[in-house]
């Protein structure tokens, strides 16, 4: 089932975004509610209007979230991606990412419409699921860093939004600047797995290893596909001597 967003609905999202920016900039919080009268909030998953008690995602879409529940299996398909490549304590993804599904719509709006609220909302939902099932909360959450130039253009790192959401339940330290991205590897999607690994191998550095040493580190990305970027970042983190390294992503392709 494909999700179609009409031009009107798309414009409604964009106008709302602009309006939110204006009200945030000038601290007119009350104008935000006023704005909702003109540009009613719509659910990013199904584009239906949200009611007053719903936050970012409607109740129908929440029920139908394509959860993987991989955290219930130690040897799940995401963990298996990294087996033999890097020593990770656990690895999992919240949602299945597929053509036309809600996870794809959520991630698209998170990355390209500046909807950081989606990252926070889904991150919090995921952490709640994990903690309900005895997940060991980390000491430090590291959002996979974007290259500086990319972050400047986008204005934010979507992985940080996810980390903030997760941290509603984890209560860890968020190490947004604990790992630096030192080169851009934007051409990697055209290369094979081995070449890609070679390409990303030395793109991360850790300015202060003592912030990572002796701690349980959780590395966050938005979507895991081949896992080569997380693997490369993970190897750099392991050099700093954490007690444990875990991976979580919002979705798996």
Q: How far is the CB of 116 from Zn ion (least distance, A)?
A: 19
Residue 58 in the binding site for Zn ion (CB under 5 A):
yes
Q: Fill in the DSSP letter of residue 67.
A: B
By beta-carbon proximity to Zn ion, the closer residue of 61 and 141 is 61
Q: How far is the CB of 17 from Zn ion (least distance, A)?
A: 18
Number of continuous H segments (helices) and E segments (strands) in the chain: 10, 7
- Residue burial 164-186, b: 16+ Cβ < 10 Å; e: rest: bbbbebbebebbeebbebeeebe
Residue 61 in the binding site for Zn ion (CB under 5 A):
yes
Q: How far is the CB of 66 from Zn ion (least distance, A)?
A: 13
By beta-carbon proximity to Zn ion, the closer residue of 125 and 203 is 125
Residue 122 in the binding site for Zn ion (CB under 5 A):
no
Tokens 């919080």, residue located: 29
| Whether the Cβ atoms of residue 58 and residue 50 lie closer than 8 Å to each other | yes
Could you tell me the two tokens for 198?
A: 């070679």
| Whether the Cβ atoms of residue 230 and residue 172 lie closer than 8 Å to each other | no
By beta-carbon proximity to Zn ion, the closer residue of 102 and 246 is 102
For residues 36 to 55, the per-residue mask of contacts with Zn ion, x marking binding by CB under 5 A and - elsewhere, is: -------x-xx---------
Q: How far is the CB of 104 from Zn ion (least distance, A)?
A: 14
- Interface with Zn ion (CB under 5 A): 43, 45-46, 58, 61
């Amino acid at each position: 089932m494909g999700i179609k967003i009409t031009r009107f609905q798309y414009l409604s999202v964009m106008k709302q975004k602009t309006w939110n920016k204006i009200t945030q900039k000038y601290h007119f919080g009350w104008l935000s509610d006023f704005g909702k009268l003109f540009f009613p909030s719509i659910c990013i998953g199904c584009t239906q209007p949200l009611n007053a008690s719903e936050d970012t995602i409607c109740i129908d879409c929440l029920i139908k979230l394509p959860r993987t529940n991989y955290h219930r299996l130690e040897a799940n398909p995401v963990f298996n991606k990294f087996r033999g490549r890097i020593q990770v304590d656990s690895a999992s993804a919240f949602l299945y990412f597929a053509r036309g599904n809600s996870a794809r719509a959520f991630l698209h709006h998170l990355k390209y419409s500046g909807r950081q609220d989606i990252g926070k909302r889904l991150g919090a939902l995921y952490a709640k699921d994990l903690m309900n099932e005895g997940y060991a909360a980390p000491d430090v959450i590291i959002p996979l860093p974007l290259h500086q130039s990319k972050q400047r253009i986008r204005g934010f790192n979507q992985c940080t939004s996810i980390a903030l959401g997760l941290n509603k339940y984890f209560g860890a330290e968020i190490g947004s600047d604990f790992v630096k991205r030192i080169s851009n590897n934007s051409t990697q999607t055209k290369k094979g797995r081995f070449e890609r690994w070679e390409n990303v191998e030395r793109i991360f550095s850790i300015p202060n290893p003592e912030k990572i040493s002796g701690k349980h580190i959780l590395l966050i990305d938005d979507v895991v596909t081949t896992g080569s970027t997380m693997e490369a970042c993970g190897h750099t983190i392991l050099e700093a001597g954490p007690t444990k390294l875990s991976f979580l992503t919002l979705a798996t392709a």
